[in-house]
Amino acid sequence: MSEVENKLIIGTAPDSWGVWFADDPKQTPWERFLDEVVESGYKWIELGPYGYLPTDPSRLADELKARDLKVSAGTVFTAFHRGVDQWDIAWEPARRVAELTAAVGGEHIVVIPAMWRDDVTGEAVENGELTVEQWDDLFNGHNRLGKVLSEEYGLQQQFHSHADSHVCVQPDIERFLQNTDPQLVTLCLDTGHAEYGGASSLDLIEKYPERIGYLHLKQIDPSVLKTVRELNMTWAAANLAGVMIEPPNGLPDLSKVIDAIEKLDKPIFGIVEQDMYPVADFGVPMPIAKRTCSYLLSCGSRTRVQ
């Protein structure tokens, strides 16, 4: 990450424009997303779901170059806790994402574990608790993935704890970190999902500074979260209810998170990822993205967009 030096680089992602899928009429068209990213003040993006942006490396590189944009990471989904056969299921889509990410200069892969409740319908698809054997499969799968990503593509795995997944609350995040290889697995600390699960971003930064490799910056509306917990709402329902809120109106305090990250004195990306799906009006995301960029840049002395 030579271009980044010892700075927190703020970027954004398709998620902040309401993009969850490769193709969906409720999502901002990809050309509009790229154009509005530039207009909002960002220089770095994530690829989002594979297939949303062009998957031909040459074409994607041309589209990025035309807008003076760079890629920080791609995203993949895994379910290693379901057994060793999950490697074959996960690897082919992960390989495609890794090849595209590396081809356009990205250095990270954000890895999101499977949710035990469907992210659209909210239907329970498996038990919400893991057995000891399932935890071991989870650890081993991510160690293997990190090794392959590093050795074959020069990419760093950034594990993303997630609402309605088996790694959501702080004890489970810590258990995961304590049982995976620090060289092969670092944490994509998503401040919103951590807050959603009752985890403290500041505490995780303080206790595991060497494991914080990447950030997703977002906030939770505490009043909506209270209702979510009281009613045991699914992540899908919580998102529709507006549990994610525009900074600086929610929790955690991102100015404190940014201060703690800057004290680590290492290069790191902080990608804005405000869950917006579905977007009823394509004119909604960009003003929020602009305001969020300005706010985050005001929070730190070494926080930049490039």
Rounded average pLDDT over 32-42: 98
What is the model's pLDDT at position 293?
98
Domain ranges for the chain: 8-304
**pLDDT of residue 20 exceeding 80:** yes
**pLDDT of residue 114 exceeding 70:** yes
48 and 19 in contact (C-beta within 8 Å)? yes
**pLDDT of residue 123 exceeding 90:** no
User: Please, which contacts does 55-60 make with residues 24 or more away whose CB atoms are closer than 8 Å?
Assistant: 55/96, 55/100, 57/99, 57/100, 57/103, 57/104, 60/100, 60/103, 60/104
Which region among 112-121, 200-209, 235-244, 251-260 has the lowest average model confidence (pLDDT)? 112-121
What is the model's pLDDT at position 3?
57
Q: Tell me, which fold does domain 8-304 have in CATH?
A: TIM Barrel (3.20.20)
Query: pLDDT per residue over 177-200, tens digit each?
Result: 999 999 999 999 999 999 999 999
CA–CA separation, 45 and 63 (whole Å): 13
pTM of the full predicted structure? 0.96
Q: What residues form DSSP beta bridges with 186?
A: 158
Question: Comparing 3 with 6, which gets the higher pLDDT?
Answer: 6
What is the model's pLDDT at position 227?
98
| pLDDT bucket at 83, cuts 50 / 70 / 90 | very high
What is the model's pLDDT at position 4?
62
**pLDDT of residue 45 exceeding 80:** yes
What is the model's pLDDT at position 150?
98
**Gyration radius from the chain CA atoms:** 18
Q: Residue 209, preceding bond cis, omega within 30 degrees?
A: no
Question: Comparing 279 with 43, which gets the higher pLDDT?
Answer: 43
Query: pLDDT per residue over 207-231, tens digit each?
Result: 999 999 999 999 999 999 999 999 9
Query: pLDDT per residue over 90-102, tens digit each?
Result: 999 999 999 999 9
Q: Residue 252, preceding bond cis, omega within 30 degrees?
A: yes
143 and 174 in contact (C-beta within 8 Å)? no
**pLDDT of residue 121 exceeding 90:** no
Quote the mean pLDDT of the chain: 96
Query: Which single residue is written with the structure tokens 């709402």?
Result: 233
| pLDDT bucket at 31, cuts 50 / 70 / 90 | very high
